[in-house]
Amino acid sequence: MNQLKARLTRRRFLQAGVATVGALTLAPSGVIGAPGQPGANQRMVVAHIGVGGMGNTHLNNMLRFRTEGKVRIAAVCDVDDNRLEAAATNVGAGVTPYRDYRYLLERKDVDAVLIATPDHWHALQTVHACQNGKHVYVEKPASVTVREGEAMVAAARANRVAVQVGAQARTALGAWQTCRAIRNGIVGRVRKVSCWHYANPVDATPVPDSAPPEALDWDLWLGPLPWRPYNRRYQPANFRWLLESGGGQIRDRGAHQFSTILWCMEADNQIAFTVEATGRPPGKGLWDCPVDMQVTYHFKNPDWTLEWGQPGNKVGKTEFGNVFWGDNGQLILEWEGGYRPANPEAINFKMPAGAKDVYRTAEYEDFNMNHKADWFKAIREGHLRPAVDIEIGHRTATLCNLGNLAYILGRKLTWDGKQVVGDAEANRYLHRPQRYPYML
């Protein structure tokens, strides 16, 4: 009886705002008025798509911005009624809950959306949001295929909106201190950057398929993925350990670490490289990401090497990080420069005469808040290029995605910035079919 009462209460709570089915209707671009401008009264009107995990962090950040009079939270969206109810309750009066993001995007009063859904949804929801004239903050990795990332960049540019990818370290203090030190010669010319990271997990105790939880819209959770029965080893959170939906540690933490490394190396525009990868498959269970993995990228003009080691050579003290190997020494960066401070040498580095400065928004000590403040700044000032603009996020995700592809195919790939040179099979993997109607 108590469970039935809870379900009925939830349905009454959600019925005013939740949409579960319906055709996708995209409003024309520019529905929020002049590009780059916030909504009425200079307060940004925001909505959240995906409010579990990191999405809840984003929501709490916006609640703080709301107390400062900078935003109004108009809507929250999730395919899990329990998470949706919790988020709507957290925001309070004036928020509308949605299960289907497509209805949310039709609202003309919403200026911007924050997307924190599983990776396989990022591209589709970002493109649709851009087409509806919304500015976007989307979690990393930007995409799960190269062609998805290209579509995201094209949509942002065509609709003149700011799309910030959630690689927060680029506006964090630790990464900034490391970047300015590396760019100004603390270890001389850097010829190699190596990463270490702990292994992907193994599904050691498989469970049978089952009916999805009553509160979960399983079809909508799958979205563009091929349909399959529900299994607790897919959801919640475990999507990370499947190559098609999460891509393992390299597409998760690699998206953070590679973003910081490219920034420090001034390599955002080095879009051509070779990649080789080896790995040890899990051997059992539903998860198929390699347990251990070694990926090596070679860049030209300037020449340098990037190594992803899983586990790699743990030079630092924490669970993961990277080392810049220069002609005059080495510099360690624990994690990616967000959740951990910079190495003392970077913190205490004295900028030389004629030093190159490094951009950083520094409005908040909390680096999650600071990264969103940078996004707001790009919107407010109208230049629409935040610190981790979608093009930067796409190029970072391309490193991760091609690392996985080299592992899948078991051979060296040469990437020219548009395609894999001389490899028709590899190029077929740059996109994949998406399930109707969840398709670009």
Cα dihedral sign, 386-259-393-65: negative
Q: Are residues 153 and 177 in the same domain?
A: no
Considering the domain architecture, whether residues 276 and 200 belong to the same structural domain is answered as: yes
Answer yes or no: is 378 within a domain: no
Q: Name the phi and psi angles at 255, rounded to 5.
A: -60, -35
Q: Strand, coil or helix: what is 296?
A: strand
- CB-CB contact of 286 with 206 (8 Å): yes
- Give 24's pLDDT tier (boundaries 50, 70, 90): very low
Domain boundary among 150, 167, 184: 167
The pLDDT of residue 29: 31
Residues 82 and 115 in one domain: yes
Same domain (yes/no): 229, 310: yes
Terminal C-alpha separation, the chain:
44
Spatial contact of 134 and 161, defined as CB atoms under 8 Å apart: yes
pTM above 0.85, yes or no: yes
Q: Which domain holds residue 258?
A: 170-358+390-428
Q: Which of 167, 190, 211 is the last residue of a domain?
A: 167
Residue 214 vs residues 117, 210, 211, 403: alpha-carbon distances, Å: 19, 12, 8, 37
Residue 42 has a pLDDT of 72
Among all chains, which residue has been given the structure tokens 């548009």? 418
Q: Is residue 97 situated within a structural domain? A: yes
| pLDDT recorded at residue 28 | 32
Distance CA 331, CA 320 (A): 14
Q: Is residue 368 assigned to a domain?
A: no
Q: Do 205 and 60 reside in the same domain of the chain? A: no
Asked if 102 contacts 72 with a C-beta cutoff of 8 angstroms, the reply is: no
Candidates 208, 297, 280, 202; CA nearest to 242 is: 202
Helices (H), 169-318: 173-183, 218-222, 248-264
Residue 152 lies in a domain: yes
> Do 117 and 132 belong together in one domain?
yes
Tokens 């970077």 belong to residue: 346
Strands (E), 197-320: 273-280, 292-299, 304-310
The domain boundary, picked from 167, 202, 227, lies at 167
Q: Is residue 376 part of a domain?
A: no
Based on the fold, state whether residues 163 and 179 are members of the same structural domain. Answer: no
Whether residues 238 and 126 share a domain: the answer is no
In a domain, 353, yes or no: yes
Note whether 102 and 181 are same-domain residues: no
Q: Per the structure, how many domains does the chain have?
A: 2
Strand positions, DSSP E, 62-204: 71-77, 96-98, 112-115, 135-138, 163-165, 190-196
Identify whether residues 227 and 336 lie together within a single domain: yes
* Residue of 273, 277, 276 lying closest to 293 (CA atoms): 277
Mean pLDDT along residues 383-400: 98
One domain, residues 163 and 177: no
- pLDDT(41) > 90: no
Which residue from 341, 281, 305, 327 is spatially nearest to 195, judged by alpha carbons? 305
| CATH value at residue 126 | 3.40.50.720
What is the Cα–Cα distance from 343 to 327, expressed in whole angstroms? 18
Over residues 382-388, the mean pLDDT reads 97
Under 8 Å between Cβ of 308 and 249:
no
pLDDT higher than threshold 50 for residue 22: no
| Residue 367 located in a structural domain | no
168-204 pLDDT tens trace: 999 999 999 999 999 999 999 999 999 999 999 999 9
Give the model confidence (pLDDT) of 338-371 as tens digits.
999 999 999 999 999 999 999 999 999 999 999 9
* pLDDT grade for 12, boundaries at 50, 70 and 90: very low
How much is the average pLDDT of 253-275?
97
Give the per-residue pLDDT at 38. 54
* Residue 53 located in a structural domain: yes
Q: pLDDT averaged over the chain?
A: 92
Same domain, 82 and 110: yes
CATH label of the domain that carries residue 208? 3.30.360.10
